[in-house]
Structure 1
Amino acid sequence: MIRCISPIDGSVYAERPTLSTDDATAAVARAQAAQAAWAARPLAERIALVQEGVAAVGQMNDAIVPELAHQMGRPIRYGGEFGGFHERASYMAQIAEDALADIVVEDSADFRRVIKRVPHGVVLVVAPWNYPYMTAINTVAPALIAGNSVMLKHASQTPLVGERMAQAFHDAGVPEDVFINVFLDHQTTSDLIAARSFGFVNFTGSVAGGQAIAAAAAGSFTGVGLELGGKDPGYVCDDADLDAAADTLIDGAMFNSGQCCCGIERIYVAERHFDAFVQKAVGIVQNYKLGNPLYPETTLGPMAHKRFADEVRAQIAEATAQGAKAHIATFAEDDGGAYLSPQILTHVTHDMRVMRDESFGPVVGIMPVKDDAEAVRLMNDSNFGLTASVWTQDVTRAEAIADQIDTGTVFMNRADYLDPGLCWTGCKDTGRGGGLSVIGYHNLTRPKSYHLKKA
């Protein structure tokens, strides 16, 4: 049984039975059988149906926003995820024709030589709970547009999301067997992958989860895309706009209770600005309102589960025991459970877990640095590599720093944003592969060469 425990009050908000092995195998068979006819439809028709499905999700937004608050704790004041959901799907629809176009090498009287991009078949999307709509659409939209059928397995914390998406797309005209929402336990998921049920698997989640997916796919030659953990750094250079840097980096660290794949988890500040930056950061966080996410005045909701909050508390406690300074007093609403006070730490070092392990919560450590070289060294001193944020007035300097950072994306003067025109990717323990952009289509299809001799 998949069971969602609401972080609002610890009650069971939703539960769904998992599919048996036989039923899961039958669902795969239906998706496989439906895929060829779907791929045979004109590209323009597939694009239109996906766009209609996206619009149908938007029409559900008034119900979706409180559902998300109940399932994973995001305050209703932020209005859900439809803006980013729509932006990503729309961009992928816009570039589809060019991204999937044939590469014609020769079309003469003697030969037609061409490379086509063809769908994998069935794509399994294993989506996380922290941004459950936006992370799912990253793969669902381009996979369907490219002619694949899709099976969506959502996180147990957000079971209603897959149901909503599937219903919206079915209402828009996408065949039910082309987009199937499933509830699977971990073992059944692994067994299906090992049995070569899918042409491609996209997983967003923990490092341990990614390792399990990779292990299940080992030897099957199934394509796998993995976006796993992060410990994303921000670097405030000596010429940075401090107000803008503090506002953006602290929001990047604390928004969604810090439960962001590309959230800021450590900040390095040029020595001359360190004290001023910390003062601004503390002032921002002290004005947050922790509370029930269903209340419009709440700016910081509970973490999605008490066990996630317990890990953040443990990292903070270990750091302060090792000499870190905590700047934020415990909020009155902090219940020792899912409702967790935000925290800013200084006097931190990379010997502390809070600066090494993924926190995925409302805590950030801030360290002074002497120069760009020290900042680069510290930013690279991590097992993860998703994004990094550099704050400077000098584009040339930012790009030179970016060239030295081991990460998937480097931002200048912004953070915690996914640009659908750029490849969303990571390195090291953050995973492999790439989503969105033209490269997203390349990963969701395979090249097929045609060498046709005419005479």
Structure 2
Amino acid sequence: MQKLQCISPIDNRVYVERPLATEYQIQNALGSARSAQLAWRLVPMAERVELVRAAVANLQKLKDVLAEEICWQMGRPITYASGEIDGLAERALYMAELAESDGSPLQDISLPEKNGYTRFIRREPLGTSLVIAPWNYPYLTAINAVVPALLAGNSVILKHSAQTPLCAERLVDAFSEAGLPAGVFQYLHLGHRDAEQLIIRGNVQHVAFTGSVSGGAAVESAAAGRFLTVGLELGGKDPAYVRADADLEYAVDSVVDGAFFNSGQSCCGIERLYVHRSAYDEVVARAVQKINQYRLGRSDEPETTLGPLVRASAADFVRDQIDEAVAQGAHAHIDEGAFALDCRGSAYMAPQLLTNVDHDMRVMNEESFGPVLGVVPVRDDEEALALMNDSEYGLTAAIYSADEQVALHLGDRLRAGTVFLNRCDYLDPALAWTGVKNSGRGCTLSGIGFEHLTRAKSFNFKLQRG
């Protein structure tokens, strides 16, 4: 029997081992999802919402346990790990409230009577949604797709990363204990080939994938000719711009946290920083001071503020980007020797800030997904805008400024799914979460997110006159 193994980045030991689903189990899950969805779609919205709320409460009761599991599975410092469950609750409960609110995007759209006709548009569930979730924010990324799909009347099969299999099990258990009917929400531990085959020949009507650009391309290829709806949240190389009028102390604190939290392993983390040249020296000095305050260490130690990357190969990938940039003339400001655990071939990696960088360097044009930030001075807004848009990615972009109108003008010209002012690396569930260019397509959360989990069905009734 084939198995998946979660190797903890803390100590390289096997933390979780699970058998991969057999073909029988896969087909059984698909059949259960299909039959369960036919009944689930008829359940009143108020009951769906209460089940979601009860499941969230179940997860919140386990917050400390789940935090420890996150820490060991993917390496986030234990000090911060429980915050993911708080974020899960915020997103799930917002979508639940929206689903049953007056003017809910799931309600029928009624049109005025016209010449003896009754007309309205109904949002119907798609059927079964396959959610493929990553390891970096294992609960947040999954809940973005799972809860809206369930609220919309779909059944869900969750395939989680091999690095975070317990998260899939915990989510399904929480909903089962809340009373969700059997078959409506299931997980499958799958390898890449079986996941691909599930899309190619499985009876799913929607795929929500969060991961790499190459992974998204594989999903698109597998779905070709099946006429599925596909949502893709892919990579990022997200920029920030600090204008001359920004509060520099605040801006630096925000950008550094946005770049190095979770060891930089965030699709919407800041990887490129552009600073007006009048503020450049101060911003660099403040950032270096701030970065040197991180404590690199084991994720299970409360004093640790920067944990290991998910695996040694991921850390070495970022090290290669840095080494190549330095060889091309970049200046590294952080002494790696001050971070005792840092060494090539290890998942423990010192943070780094680079200056004298340009867009010909991989570290400025290729997703890093690690604790490194390149900083470039700019002469004005136009140069900043051109550099921010000079990327194959377009998930988020952040502006730091005291002038909201200028920021709005710049934001209109930025090619990104979300534009921030004086904040970064945050997902508001009331707003559409989407990307452009190689950052993907489709949308999760907000009222618009429900539109991607349903199909429009029009009713046109001619009234008989007695």
TM over 0.5: yes
The answer to whether the Cα contact below 8 Å between 2:5 and 2:163 also exists between their aligned partners in 1 is yes
| Correspondence for 1:429 | 438
By how many angstroms is 1:106 displaced? 3.5
- Write out aligned runs for 1:18-29 (5 A): 18-29=20-31
Q: Letter of the aligned partner of 1:387 in structure 2?
A: T
By how many angstroms is 1:361 displaced? 0.3
Structure 1 distance, partners of 2:196, 2:300, is 36
The answer to whether the Cα contact below 8 Å between 1:234 and 1:388 also exists between their aligned partners in 2 is yes
Query: Could you tell me which of 214, 219, 226 is aligned with 1:208?
Result: 214
Structure 2 distance, partners of 1:196, 1:185, is 15
By how many angstroms is 1:173 displaced? 0.5
Count of aligned pairs: 455
- Write out aligned runs for 1:167-246 (5 A): 167-246=173-252
Structure 2 distance, partners of 1:111, 1:15, is 60
TM-score normalised per structure 2:
0.96
**Structure 1 vs Structure 2: percent identity of aligned residues?**
53
**1:39-61 per-position Cα deviation (integer Å, ceiling 9, x unaligned):** 11101000110111111111111
SS in 2 for 1:280: helix
The answer to whether the Cα contact below 8 Å between 1:196 and 1:222 also exists between their aligned partners in 2 is no
| Correspondence for 2:38 | 36
SS in 2 for 1:365: strand
Q: Letter of the aligned partner of 1:418 in structure 2?
A: L
| Correspondence for 1:144 | 150
Structure 1 distance, partners of 2:202, 2:108, is 27
Structure 1 distance, partners of 2:187, 2:413, is 41
1:261 aligns with 2:270: no
Structure 2 distance, partners of 1:131, 1:238, is 34
| Correspondence for 2:366 | 357
| Correspondence for 2:49 | 47
The answer to whether the Cα contact below 8 Å between 2:158 and 2:187 also exists between their aligned partners in 1 is yes
| Correspondence for 2:341 | 333
| Correspondence for 2:401 | 392
- Write out aligned runs for 1:31-110 (5 A): 31-80=33-82, 81-97=84-100, 98-107=104-113, 110=116
By how many angstroms is 1:188 displaced? 1.3
The answer to whether the Cα contact below 8 Å between 1:196 and 1:220 also exists between their aligned partners in 2 is no
Structure 2 distance, partners of 1:176, 1:307, is 40
Q: Give unpaired runs (5+ residues) of structure 2.
A: none
1:298 aligns with 2:304: yes
By how many angstroms is 1:316 displaced? 0.5
1:280 aligns with 2:286: yes
Q: Which stretch of the first structure deviates more once superposed, 347-356 or 22-31? A: 22-31
TM-score normalised per structure 1:
0.99
Structure 2 distance, partners of 1:372, 1:21, is 56
SS in 1 for 2:142: helix
By how many angstroms is 1:310 displaced? 1.0
The answer to whether the Cα contact below 8 Å between 1:227 and 1:430 also exists between their aligned partners in 2 is yes
Query: Could you tell me which of 138, 147, 152 is aligned with 1:132?
Result: 138
Structure 2 distance, partners of 1:110, 1:193, is 45
**1:246-276 per-position Cα deviation (integer Å, ceiling 9, x unaligned):** 0000100000000011100000000000010
Structure 2 distance, partners of 1:79, 1:264, is 20
The answer to whether the Cα contact below 8 Å between 2:40 and 2:184 also exists between their aligned partners in 1 is yes
| Correspondence for 1:380 | 389
By how many angstroms is 1:151 displaced? 0.5
Structure 1 distance, partners of 2:349, 2:360, is 24
SS in 1 for 2:399: strand
**1:272-327 per-position Cα deviation (integer Å, ceiling 9, x unaligned):** 00010000000001010000111110000000111111110110010001000000
By how many angstroms is 1:107 displaced? 4.5
Structure 2 distance, partners of 1:395, 1:47, is 37
| Correspondence for 1:117 | 123
The answer to whether the Cα contact below 8 Å between 2:71 and 2:81 also exists between their aligned partners in 1 is no
**1:58-80 per-position Cα deviation (integer Å, ceiling 9, x unaligned):** 11111111111110000111142
The answer to whether the Cα contact below 8 Å between 1:109 and 1:454 also exists between their aligned partners in 2 is no
Q: Letter of the aligned partner of 2:94 in structure 1?
A: Y
